[in-house]
Amino acid sequence: MSTTLNQVAAALSGPPEYVVRSPGRINVIGEHTDYNGGLVLPAAIDRSIFFAARRIPENDWQLKALDIGQEATLPLPVNRPGARQWVNYLAGIGREFQKLGYTLPGLELSFGGDLPAGAGMSSSAALEGGIAFLLNELVQAGLGRVDLARLTQRSSNEFLGVPSGIMDQFASLNGSPDGPLLLNCTTLDYRVITNKLSDHTFLLVNSLVSHDLANSEYPVRVAQCREALRAIQVNYPDVKSLGATTLDQLMDISDTCSPIAMQRARFVVRENQRVIKMVGALREGNADLAISLLNETHAGLRNAYEVSCPEVDYLQQQATRVFSGSAVGARIMGGGFGGCTINLVRRADAADFIDFIKNAYHREFGRWPDVYPVTLAAGTNFVPVSSTPTGHSG
Ligand code: GAF
């Protein structure tokens, strides 16, 4: 279900003091490289979660998750994770501000938007980034966007126990409408990359197979990469991450590292190289190169990293097989095990592509996949409260 900004504002029992827009993200390329200190190329998009908030005298957070029709009350101070995951995304961020020494204010908070959950478009990162952005203002912590991204990642890692990287929250908080961000996940240096593929557009196709990092094999992949890094560091103590590892260095550890960890690490090192090549393809407007890089990444994610699933593989195969007259690049996007494919399609073919892929998927799996055109957007920000009619009379 999707919820409008006005519905979010009107769900409070009084006029909102603050309204925040927190976007989802795409990732052009650079999958599973972030927690390996490598490169990623994500962008914030125009699908978002809106938050409306007002301070209240009670010492709790009165929460309304409008997209799922649920409410919860979270007593303050935040203590430990509770039973409901969506509450924990918010609570963990509150806990991080408490750890910095701030006292959290009582809040009435409603939120909802048009970002599908479990689709690999980072609805959970948008939740985390949005509440972090709001609390930063409410407690006057003065953190910049990069530090807010670090804080949200800590919450995911420590409060939720999900060993995720920083890409999703970083893109949501720092995104630009002008192009994807080339982010170095070791230094957190980033720059906006100009995309000159003007005859092409990105489309997301949602397999509707819900992906959920915490309950997937994502933590297993993280552990396998750590194992490979430990083996590399025996020979090369100065290498700090797989993102800084070469294929030659990897060859040296084939006797000391398990084959499966080697296989995962090889994917990561190659994927990191593809990010650099993709930056060149976007800057030069080289669609053929961009398309082949996307397809190579999918092959790697399916065969070497083993994070795809039959439904997504089907979407990828159909996208690339049938439209080979004017080639399409397609790959699974995000953590894996479901969610969306990201497709690079000639603008002139977009309508036919959407029609074809929807029908093909429906014939095969009996479900109509959602297709989302991609428009890049700025990162998290306040929406002027005056622009949100609240629906309240007083
Ligand atoms: C998920 C994680 F949250 C990111 O940190 C990243 O690892 C991604 O999977 C895979 O690239 O979205």
Q: Which residue among 28, 29, 32 has the greatest number of ligand 1 atoms within 8 angstroms of its CB, and so is best to mutate?
A: 32
Cis peptide before 180 (omega within 30 of 0): no
Give a three-class secondary structure readout of the chain: CCCCHHHHHHCCCCCCCEEEEEEEEEECCCCCCHHHCCEECEEEEEEEEEEEEEECCCCEEEEEEHHHCEEEEEECCCCCCCCCHHHHHHHHHHHHHHHCCCCCCCEEEEEEECCCCCCCCCHHHHHHHHHHHHHHHHCCCCCCHHHHHHHHHHHHHHHCCCCCCCHHHHHHHHCCCCCCEEEECCCCCEEECCCCCCCEEEEEEECCCCCCCCCCCHHHHHHHHHHHHHHHHHHCCCCCCHHHCCHHHHHCCCCCCCHHHHHHHHHHHHHHHHHHHHHHHHHHCCHHHHHHHHHHHHHHHHHHCCCCCHHHHHHHHHHHHHCHHHCCEEEECCCCCCCEEEEEEEHHHHHHHHHHHHHHHHHHHCCCCEEEECCECCCCEECCHHHCCCCCCC
> How far, in Å, from the CA of 169 to the mean position of ligand 1?
10
Residue 343's nearest CA partner among 360, 366, 365 is 360
pLDDT, tens only, 239-280:
999 999 999 999 999 889 999 999 999 999 999 999 999 999
Give the per-residue pLDDT at 309.
96
The CA distance from 172 to 149, in Å, is 9
How many Å lie between the centroid of ligand 1 and the Cα of residue 106?
Answer: 32
pLDDT at 322 over 70: no
Atom of ligand 1 nearest to the CA of 125: 3
> Does the pLDDT value for residue 314 go beyond 90?
yes
Q: Are 329 and 200 in contact (CB under 8 A)?
A: no
Among the listed residues 172, 169, 145, the one whose alpha carbon sits nearest the alpha carbon of residue 157: 169
pLDDT of 298 strictly over 60:
yes
> Would you state the pLDDT for residue 213?
82
State the distance from the centre of ligand 1 to the C-alpha of 298, rounded, in angstroms: 15
Ligand 1 within 6 A of CB of 179:
no
Beta bridge pairs of residue 381: 21
Q: From edge to edge, which strands make up the β-sheet containing 60-65? A: 70-75, 60-65, 107-113, 42-55, 18-27, 381-382
Higher pLDDT, 254 or 29: 29
- Residue nearest ligand 1's atom 5 by CA: 165
Report d(CA 101, CA 324) in Å as an integer.
Answer: 57
Ligand 1 mean position, distance from CA 227 (Å) = 19
pLDDT score recorded for residue 393: 34
Looking from the CA of residue 31, the nearest atom of ligand 1 is 11
Q: Which of 168, 199, 313, 352 is catalytic?
A: 168
Q: What is the Å distance from ligand 1's center to 293 Cα?
A: 19
CA 169 → CA 34, 39, 47, 295, distances in Å? 11, 15, 14, 25
Amino acid at the residue 105: P
pLDDT per position as a tens digit, 171-214: 999 999 999 999 999 999 999 999 999 999 999 999 999 888 87
Ligand 1 centroid vs 67 CA: distance in angstroms?
23
Classify the C-alpha dihedral 153-93-101-133 as positive or negative: positive
Q: Is the CB of 334 under 6 A from ligand 1?
A: yes
How are beta strands 60-65 and 107-113 bridged, if at all?
parallel
pLDDT digits (tens, 9 = 90+) for 69-100: 999 999 999 999 999 999 999 999 999 999 99
Q: Is 238 a catalytic residue?
A: no
Q: What tens digit of pLDDT does each residue of 148-167 get?
A: 999 999 999 999 999 999 99
**Alpha carbon distance 236, 225 (integer Å):** 16
Q: What is the pLDDT of residue 94?
A: 98
For ligand 1, atom 4: residue with the closest CA: 165
Write out the two tokens for 351: 């309508």
* Domain 5-193+377-384 listed as CATH 3.30.230.10: yes
Residue having the nearest C-alpha atom to atom 9 of ligand 1: 335
Identify which of 25, 31, 164 to mutate to test ligand 1's pocket (most ligand atoms within 8 A of the CB).
164
Q: Is 228 in the pocket of ligand 1 (CB under 6 A)?
A: no
Which residue from 384, 370, 383 is spatially nearest to 115, judged by alpha carbons? 370
How far, in Å, CA of 268 to CA of 343, rounded? 21
